[in-house]
């Protein structure tokens, strides 16, 4: 049996099946490639790296300003004014994470740790470091 256009129903079914497969393949390709195509800014990469290294720290990154300073604030679960060794280790790790992102236009990094004292009052300690991105060999 043929349709008025002179094609058999099997021909139409095969045509629709092929068209359907093409649509499904296109949708699957978009779903798979969409995350890879997402563009992130350098500061978004720094925030993401800090969130990974310091879970729950709610990092805030601003800059660089006109002087080339990058400002980073991290919430820490300790009093940075009292637990200086722990604060020092956090400063060092945060600086290493930031420098690993190889940002351009940065001269200094100002890191601020915001914590809570034993009495429940907010405390903070800041440290300014020269920014030294890793050397490319």
Peptide bond into 125 cis (omega under 30): no
Phi/psi for 36 (5° steps) reads -70, -25
Task: Check residue 4 and give its pLDDT.
Answer: 59
* Residue ranges per structural domain of the chain: 1-38, 42-130
Is 103:46 a contact under the CB 8 Å cutoff? yes
Q: Is the pTM of this model over 0.95?
A: no
pLDDT per 10-residue tile (average), the chain, 137 residues: 65 86 90 74 88 92 88 92 91 88 85 91 91 62
What pLDDT was estimated at residue 12? 78
Q: What pLDDT is recorded for position 24? A: 93
CATH placement of domain 42-130: 3.30.70
pLDDT for 134: 56
Q: ω into residue 45 within 30 of 0, thus cis? A: no
């Amino acid at each position: 049996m043929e349709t008025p256009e002179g094609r058999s129903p099997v021909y139409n079914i095969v045509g629709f099946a092929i068209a359907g497969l093409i649509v499904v393949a296109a949708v699957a390709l978009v779903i798979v490639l969409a995350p890879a195509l997402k563009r992130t800014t350098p500061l978004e990469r720094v925030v993401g790296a800090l969130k990974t290294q310091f879970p729950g720290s709610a990092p805030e990154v601003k800059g660089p300003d006109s002087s080339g300073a990058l400002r980073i604030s991290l919430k820490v679960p300790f009093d940075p004014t009292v637990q200086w060794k722990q604060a020092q280790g956090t400063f060092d790790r945060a600086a290493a994470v930031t420098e690993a992102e190889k940002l351009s236009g940065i001269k200094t990094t100002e890191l601020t740790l915001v914590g809570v004292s034993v009495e429940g009052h907010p405390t903070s300690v800041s440290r300014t470091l020269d920014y030294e991105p890793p050397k490319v060999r």
